[in-house]
Chains A and B, each alone.
Chain A
Amino acid sequence: MKQLSLLAASLMFSAGVLAGAADNVSVQDPYVRLAPPNAPATGAFMVIKNNGDKDVKVVKADNPVSKVTELHTHINDGGVMKMRPVPSIDIKAKGEAVLKPGSLHVMMIDIKTPMKEGDVVPITLSFDDGSTKQVDAKVVRPMAAPMPAAMEHKH
């Protein structure tokens, strides 16, 4: 009986941990870009929507396919693209973060086994309050997509 209540307590506790930022977040169109042969790293992209009333931060990402997973962005410095790690991806209340090529991305470094088109990579996003969310991202071939840099001509 004591064990049961302990179990109940721990269930409630874990439910308490799970509730939070992750519950208010939805993820759209997640995908991993198929790495070209010999490329040891690739990126995962998605749109992270915050449906809640509080700002949230993604502070960490994990995946089982690469040895290292990091949060990155690109800085376009006069045509020179500089990729840099970021401590977090911030998503304002009722806002969204767009992870896309040439911009914010989940970086998968040192891919353990080569991926194939159509594989699904489970990516776990961790939020600043400790809650987590798993996203299943499909592996797709690189495609031409509009980038921020390509839009600099639009006025």
Chain B
Amino acid sequence: MVERILIFVAGLLAAAIVGVALFWQPEMPERPLPKAVIAAGGDFTLQSASGPVALQNYRGKLVLVYFGYTFCPDICPTSLAATAEGLKQLTPEELARVAMIFVSVDPKRDTPARLAEYVDFFHPAIVGVTGTPENIAEIAKRYGVFYAEQKVETAGGGYVVDHSADTFIVAPDGQLVGKMAHATPPDQVVVAIRKYLNQP
């Protein structure tokens, strides 16, 4: 009988440990991608106002990648303002090792020139890029980014683009290592950047 109770207690403890292991989520500024559904990410080359931008040319730098569009009335400015504020909190030495790429999910309307002016408003370290719709769709898929044009019933006409609002973190070795949720506050952006910047 005692033995049974002991086995029962041991079972409970084991269940508790497994439960904690499964559901314990320490407060992290970014959501690390679970290995099973990890988006592959990977290199890409797109067009900026000052020529082609290739992710592979950023090796040695931590690269933040955000997918958005200049007609975006609220989500992109909110995310970009928070991230830019985080970039401003880095030391000049740190900032020199960080880059940010804003990939347009609205290639029909976003030209490289338009993107350049737009991203510069937030931070000079951000480069705005676009490409062919097929090219962008392929990259978005690799990064697990969803976007879709929506004909929203607005008297303003035009369309809005629903899109994933995460900021991806590409480590200096080119690996996609994590992402930050929409509007992650600046101090948490700094924590996330430093975490991957200082990894060997």
Contacts and interface: CB of A to CB of B under 8 A. Distances in A.
Given A36-B77, A102-B75, A150-B181, A144 B82 contact: yes
Interface in B58-117: 70-75, 77-78, 80-82, 85-86, 114, 117
Contact of B114 (A38, A77, A82, A153): A38
A150 B153 CA distance: 28
Q: Give the contact-size bracket for chain B.
A: 35 or more
B163 A43 contact: no
Interface residues of A, number: 41
B124 to A, nearest CB: 14
A116 interface: no
Given A36-B122, A37-B121, A147 B183 contact: yes
A152 B181 contact: yes
Contacts, number: 128
A80 B181 contact: no
A146 B74 contact: no
Nearest to A40: B71
Given A43-B73, A144-B82, A81 B118 contact: no
Contacts of A83: 73-75, 152, 160, 162
Interface of B: 25, 27-28, 70-75, 77-78, 80-82, 85-86, 114, 117-118, 120-122, 146-147, 150, 152-156, 158, 160, 162-166, 181-186
